[in-house]
Amino acid sequence: MTNTDKIQALFDSQLVAVNIGPRLFGEALEKQNVEVVQVDWRPIAGGDKQMQDLLSVLGM
17 and 34 Cβ atoms separated by less than 8 Å? yes
Looking at residue 38, its pLDDT comes to: 95
Looking at residue 14, its pLDDT comes to: 92
Looking at residue 37, its pLDDT comes to: 97
What are the domain boundaries of the chain? Answer: 3-57
Looking at residue 57, its pLDDT comes to: 86
For residue range 1-60, what is the model confidence (pLDDT) as tens digits? 899 999 999 999 999 999 998 899 999 999 999 999 999 887 777 778 888 888 788 876
This prediction's pTM? 0.57
DSSP 23-38: HHHHHHHHTTT-EEEE
How many CB atoms within 10 Å of residue 19?
19
Looking at residue 47, its pLDDT comes to: 78
42 and 21 Cβ atoms separated by less than 8 Å? no
Phi, psi at 42, each rounded to 5°: -130, 130
